[in-house]
Amino acid sequence: EDQVTQSPEALRLQEGESSSLNCSYTVSGLRGLFWYRQDPGKGPEFLFTLYSAGEEKEKERLKATLTKKESFLHITAPKPEDSATYLCAVMTTDSWGKLQFGAGTQVVVTP
Partner 1 sequence: DAGITQSPRHKVTETGTPVTLRCHQTENHRYMYWYRQDPGHGLRLIHYSYGVKDTDKGEVSDGYSVSRSKTEDFLLTLESATSSQTSVYFCAISAKGYGYTFGSGTRLTVV
The nearest distance, CB 17 to partner 1, in angstroms, is: 26
Q: How far is the CB of 41 from partner 1 (least distance, A)?
A: 8
Binding test (CB under 8 A) with partner 1, winner from 62, 84, 89, 109 = 89
Could you give phi then psi for residue 15, rounded to 5 degrees? Answer: -55, 130
Give the count of beta carbons closer than 10 Å to the beta carbon of residue 3: 11
Strand pairing class (100-101; 84-92) = antiparallel
Find, among 97, 96, 98, 71, the residue nearest to 86 by Cα: 71
**Closer of 46 and 111 to partner 1 (Cβ):** 46
- Closest CA relative to residue 32, chosen from 85, 74, 75, 95: 95
Should residue 102 be labelled a site residue for partner 1 when binding is judged by CB under 8 A? yes
Output the smallest distance, CB 104 to partner 1, in A. Answer: 6
The radius of gyration of the chain's CA atoms, rounded to the nearest angstrom, is 13
**Does 42 help bind partner 1 (rule: CB under 8 A)?**
yes
Interaction of residue 103 with partner 1, rule CB under 8 A: yes
Query: Footprint of partner 1 on this chain (CB under 8 A)?
Result: 32, 34, 36, 41-46, 49, 87, 89, 91, 96-104
